[in-house]
Amino acid sequence: MKKHNFSAGPSILPQEVLDKAAQAVLNYNNSGLSILEISHRSKDFVAIMEEARTLALELLGLEGKGYQALFLSGGASMEFVRVPYSLLKQNGKAAYLDTGTWAAGAIKQAEKFGETIVVASSKSDNYSYIPKEYSIPTDASYFHCTSNNTIFGTQMQDFPETDVPIVCDMSSDIFSREIDFSKFGIIYAGAQKNMGPAGTTLVVVKEELLGKTDRVTPDILDYSAHIAKDSMYNTPPVFAVYASMLTLQWVKANGGVAAMEKKNNEKAALLYNEIERNLLFKGVAKLEDRSKMNVTFILVNEAHKEQFDKMWKAANISGLNGHRSVGGYRASIYNAMSIESVQVLVDVMQEFEKTIQ
């Protein structure tokens, strides 16, 4: 029986995507070949790549606005490096907001390139909130932030108004809510949360920002080289791009990002209401910064852990354990998660309450 998969990533995908991807592994489009054994230069795959790139821009409302979408490999972590290579001017500076482990990872890489200013950090409070009072140096080459902090369960609700190009790691909330995406110079997102299997990263780049660093950049680390080759500078991760394209088709067919946001709001409200109502649990993130993708919570009394764990496992729930740096529980409720599955978790929390009293 299929589990209620609350894993943070790689994570749940729409059943329809899994069915189509499985069929394509056996026989892609009745071609007599598996998607795993066709050339990336074949007509079939070129069409897949083009559709994935077009859909990504369309769903973000960025078509015809000077942006290019790329499907690269190396994970979101590779973009921690490609971003400074592409935007940080020689002897320039970069500004970063430190909201979690992944933001800190990006900062660590930028520091290898040049002056890196951390405009604010919530590290001393174990990243339980998003800092809001900060200023971005006007001479920074770019400002980098992480829209959703997968581990800590916080999410930026607003983005700063600035003339400095904004680079955003949207790995764990891309396509989950409506934002004016044209505010951003670069958006990147590892596929393995809201988009597809691990193996590819969507990078959306405003082309006019490129080519201004005076750096000698190896081609594979240069967005311009990938754009020039239509996202096929080297062999792309064919299957990951295909499955991502299927998810983007699914998002579009189900009403686009606006419809995803509506459903995500309902799921998050259902679960957060229970965390607030049920005195056995406590939320981890500051109320106003709570994530609608990764819901982090703890047991008020650790002594009840064995009982609660037994109950949610018996309810066919999987992937609920929190990250080791936070502890407790983390329910990742990405786009593909149904409200019915969230209800199963809420029911378990309520049953658990009865067994404790």
Q: How far apart are CA 278 and CA 36, in angstroms?
A: 48
10 binds ligand PMP per the rule CB under 6 A: no
- Binders of ligand PMP in range 102-131 (CB under 6 A): 102
Site for ligand PMP (CB under 6 A): which residue of 5, 7, 9, 292? 9
Which CB atom, from 13 or from 346, has the smaller least distance to ligand PMP?
13
From the candidates 20, 193, 267, 292, give the one annotated as an active-site residue: 193
For residue 349, give the nearest of 13, 8, 6 by alpha carbon.
6
Q: Which of 42, 77, 128, 217 binds ligand PMP (CB under 6 A)?
A: 77
> Kind and range of the H or E element at 318?
strand 317-318
Give the CA angle between residues 94, 100, 105 to the nearest 5°: 55
3-state SS, residue 168: strand
Considering only the stretches 129-137, 169-177, 202-210, 345-353, report the one whose residues sit in contact with ligand PMP under the rule CB under 6 A. 169-177
CA distance 328 to 324: 8
Give the residue with the Cβ less far from ligand PMP, 95 or 195: 195
Binding residue for ligand PMP, selected from 12, 55, 72, 76, defined by CB under 6 A: 76
Specify the stretch interacting with ligand PMP by CB under 6 A; choose among 23-31, 71-79, 112-120, 337-345.
71-79
Select from 109, 121, 122, 150 the one that contacts ligand PMP (CB under 6 A): 150
Provide the edge-to-edge strand list for the sheet that holds 166-169: 67-72, 201-206, 184-190, 166-169, 140-146, 93-98, 115-121
Q: Coil, strand, or helix at residue 285?
A: coil
Interface with ligand PMP (CB under 6 A): 9, 75-77, 102, 146, 150, 169, 171-172, 190
Q: Which residues are catalytic?
A: 102, 169, 193
